[in-house]
Amino acid sequence: MKALLVDPSLYTGPYDAALDAGLAAAGVSTTWATRPPRAGERFEVVRSEPFFYRCSDQARLPARLRAIAKGCAHVAGMWRLLRMIRRERPDVVHFQWLVIPFIDMAVMALIRRRCAVILTVHDTVAYNGAKVAWLQRLGIDHAARLAHRVIVHTRAGCERLRAQGVPRERIAVIPHGPLRLSMPPVAPQAKDGRWTLVLFGEIKPYKGLDVLIEAVAALDPGLRRELRIIVAGRPRMDIAPCAQRIAALGADAQFELRLRRLDEEEMARLFAAADAFVFPYRHIDASGVFHLVRGLGKWLIATRVGVFAEEMRPGEGALVPPGDVAALSRALAHALRERPRGSTHGGGASWESIGAATRTLYEGARAELAARALPPRTRLAGP
């Protein structure tokens, strides 16, 4: 079984590498079509063809020109992808992400004539509700209906795709697996006695930093002094309003903003310093950060959405309604009083089982495509 997996922008490198290992264990021969990894990125797969954005990814251009350059480079990359499929003849082509949906959709329509097309929809709410140009949204819903099979990570995601018109029999719920840093854990450094709460990952509007700020402000002043919050990750939104709100509420002593992409050594030190992780998300399907920190023995405070609602077990942490400042503040207050520890079991599916389930999905899509290619009389007659 040969599979070509496509993640042009390498949005989920650690997930891709773990999935690659799971597929290898299931006997699937994989090739990945991606961009070249950047400095500090980890992308460990058996075989990769990094032909997307070779020049445009490094170009220093104004934002508008950079977007145009990437669009042109994406078209060129998709042309190379079609040539690669013709040359390598994979059994399935598995898209992890759609970068420019209306272009990717057209390419999928061409590919599905030749081999089975699989699409993983990591976020069933497009762009997690962020405002994007209409051109970026064009075709995004139709692409899922073009694929022979669609993978989602949660039951809630499955129901959302059904509501968008994707037939249930084409949807498979295959969970996200655990992620790990490549370097061993580090010993925590001495702290000042405050309880350290971490909000980690790229900072985007749906992740609810503003909700967390208001919840901290609602705490009793005595409890608030016992809290230290580290917000760490590359900003993908304007942080100025949040920083101004922190200052206006007099919460500067509680918040430390590390607004950059952390390397693995910095992540290891951050995770060692954390007493708990917070996920005040407005919505989500799967969360790579959750699967990275789950099982570290740290308390988790999350909203009752997506993977948190479906996978978090008693003893791992607390769940609150999304956008509920009062409920989040109560969960913070309880944690500050009790100083609970989380679970170290990690939970969730193994990558071996995920690889096996994905191979089964590939085989089903391939068999369906082969059956449709047979003349009607042959299909009726059977083997």
Q: What is the pLDDT of residues 129-186, one digit of tens each?
A: 677 666 666 777 788 889 999 999 999 999 999 998 999 999 999 999 999 888 877 8
State the distance between the two ends of the chain, measured CA to CA, in whole angstroms: 21
The amino acid present at 320, given as its one-letter code, is: V
* CA-to-CA dists, residue 364 to 6, 162, 169, 344, angstroms: 20, 20, 11, 36
> Is residue 98 very low, low, confident or very high in pLDDT (cuts 50, 70, 90)?
very high
Q: Are 292 and 203 contained in the same domain?
A: yes
Is residue 290 predicted with pLDDT exceeding 60?
yes
Q: What percent of the chain has pLDDT over 70?
A: 92
- Higher pLDDT, residue 140 or 247: 247
Residue whose pair of structure tokens reads 């997690």 in the numeric block: 128
Same domain, 41 and 122: yes
Residue 189 lies in a domain: no
375 located within any domain: yes
Structure token digits, residue 236: 């993908």
The answer to whether residue 265 is domain-embedded is yes
User: Count of H helices and E strands in the chain?
Assistant: 15, 13
d(CA 294, CA 198): 13
Kindly state whether residues 49 and 99 are assigned to the same domain: yes
Q: How does DSSP classify residue 203?
A: B
Of 55, 102, 112, 54, nearest to 82 (Cα)?
Answer: 112
Q: What integer pLDDT is reported at residue 370 of this predicted model? A: 87
Q: Are 224 and 149 contained in the same domain?
A: no
Residue 183 in domain? no
Q: DSSP code of 187? A: P
Q: What is the pLDDT of residue 135?
A: 65
Residue 362 has pLDDT above 50, yes or no: yes
Q: Give the pLDDT confidence of 19-40 residue by residue, as tens digits.
A: 999 999 999 999 999 999 887 7
Per-residue pLDDT tens digits for 265-287: 999 999 999 999 999 999 999 99
**Which amino acid is residue 91, in one-letter code?**
D
Residue 125 — very low, low, confident or very high, per pLDDT cuts 50/70/90?
A: confident
Identity (one letter) of the amino acid at 8? P
Of the candidate ranges 12-16, 42-46, 200-204, 245-249, the one whose mean pLDDT is the lowest: 42-46
Q: Which domain holds residue 129?
A: 2-177+351-381
pLDDT confidence band for 114 (50 / 70 / 90): confident
Question: Does residue 233 share a domain with residue 171?
Answer: no
Coil vs helix vs strand at 31: strand
Please report which confidence band the pLDDT of residue 59 belongs to, taking 50, 70 and 90 as the band edges.
low
Q: Are both 212 and 316 inside the same structural domain?
A: yes
pLDDT at 188 over 80: no
Please check whether residue 178 is in contact with residue 311, taking contact to mean a CB–CB distance below 8 angstroms: no
- Residue 302's DSSP bridge partners are 279, 319
pLDDT of residue 96: 96
Indicate the SS3 state at residue 26.
coil
Quick check: 382 pLDDT over 70? no
Query: Does the pLDDT value for residue 227 go beyond 80?
Result: yes
In a domain, 372, yes or no: yes
pLDDT band at 45 (very low <50, low <70, confident <90, very high): confident
Q: What is the mean pLDDT of residues 75-99?
A: 95
Cα–Cα distance list, 295 to 140, 178, 183, 271, 343 (Å): 34, 9, 16, 11, 6
By the 8 A CB rule, do 187 and 166 touch? no
Residue 254 pLDDT = 95
DSSP β-ladder status, 317-320 and 227-232: unpaired
Is the domain of 65 the same as that of 152?
A: yes
The better pLDDT of the pair 178, 383 is held by 178
In terms of residues, how long is the chain?
Answer: 383
| Residue range 363-381, pLDDT digits in tens | 999 998 888 766 655 444 4
Q: Is residue 9 part of a domain?
A: yes
Strand spans (E) along the chain: 2-7, 29-34, 48-49, 92-95, 116-120, 149-152, 171-173, 195-200, 227-232, 255-258, 276-279, 299-303, 317-320
Instruction: Report whether pLDDT(289) > 90.
Output: yes
Average pLDDT over residues 9-15: 91
Distance CA 303, CA 322 (A): 5
Are residues 170 and 148 located together in one domain of the fold?
A: yes
3-class DSSP state for residue 275?
A: coil
Mean pLDDT of the chain: 90
> What pLDDT does 133 receive?
67
Q: Into how many domains does the chain fold?
A: 2
Which amino acid appears at position 25 of this protein? A
In Å, how far are 26, 78, 146 from 176, measured between CA atoms?
A: 16, 27, 23
Asked whether the predicted pLDDT for residue 383 surpasses 70, the reply is: no
What is the pTM assigned to this prediction? 0.90
CB 90 within 8 A of CB 3: yes
CATH number, domain with residue 57: 3.40.50.2000
Rounded CA-CA distance 63/159 in Å is 37
305-360 residue pLDDT tens? 999 999 998 889 999 999 999 999 999 999 999 999 988 777 778 999 999 999 99
Q: Give the amino acid at 311.
A: E
